[in-house]
Amino acid sequence: MKKIKLSVFSSGVGSNLLAIHKASIKKNFPGKLNLVVCDKICPAFKLAKSLNYETKLISSLDHKKFEELVHDELIKYKIDLICLAGFMRILSPNFVSKWKNKILNIHPSILPSFPGLNTHKKVLSNGLKIHGSTVHVVNEKLDSGKILGQFAIPVINDDIVFLRDNIKKYENMFYPEVIRKYIWTFIFKKDNFTSKKLRDNKEIIFSY
């Protein structure tokens, strides 16, 4: 099977990185993880190194310089699609335009509700009974790109750690699936492995 080249950007613990890794080594997954970019030494960085991926630590405080270095690495490794996974830097409109429709992000809320940080706290503070995550295409505005998929789960208590971990568990199953469907539909432009709902609406809405 033809596989496109993926890069994961991460600043966090690496659970979604690990999920993408596990998906990408399967024969029927249309992407191969070729490069991991981290902006600090974090568990994701150590995980990527332990899995023997090309792993770049780019921590320049100068935003323009940071993006220039990252862009050069992406070109060097001929990356086709970038998957943000707990990446805490906001990418500039200039960078996003260079990689238009080639950057995906998973955000821990049911967008358009609660863009930005501290989503679990906001859900609990507002007394909501449903929480979830959204996979979207990255555009020039924060957490506002085209929605590709969402899932929702019940909030069963006010324990923020339990809520965070539960959301993460579902993200780890969900993100690779949406990446797979995005590659087949929008990059390969084939209907293989895609639902009629995705073909018709260009969106995937999942509920668990």
Output the pLDDT for position 191: 63
Output the pLDDT for position 16: 98
Q: Cβ contacts of residue 7 below 8 Å, gap of 6+? A: 33, 34, 35, 36, 37, 74, 77, 79, 81, 82, 83
Phi-psi region of 202 (alpha: psi -120 to 50; beta: other; left: phi over 0): left
Q: Domain 4-201 belongs to what architecture?
A: 3-Layer(aba) Sandwich (3.40)
Cis peptide before 112 (omega within 30 of 0): yes
Catalytic residue among 21, 63, 71, 107: 107
Where do the structural domains in the chain lie, given as residue ranges? 4-201
Question: Tens digit of pLDDT per residue, the chain (208 long)?
Answer: 889 999 999 999 999 999 999 999 999 999 999 999 999 999 999 999 999 999 999 998 899 999 999 999 999 999 999 999 999 999 999 999 999 999 999 999 999 999 999 999 999 999 999 999 999 999 999 999 999 999 999 999 999 999 999 999 999 999 999 999 999 999 998 865 444 444 444 434 454 3
> Any catalytic annotation for residue 107?
yes
Tokens of 123: 């859900």
Output the pLDDT for position 163: 98
CA separation for the pair 166, 178 (Å, rounded): 19
Question: Are 172 and 19 contacting, i.e. CB atoms less than 8 angstroms apart?
Answer: yes
Output the pLDDT for position 1: 82
Output the pLDDT for position 198: 40
Output the pLDDT for position 61: 83
CA separation for the pair 60, 28 (Å, rounded): 37
Output the pLDDT for position 197: 42
CA separation for the pair 7, 75 (Å, rounded): 11
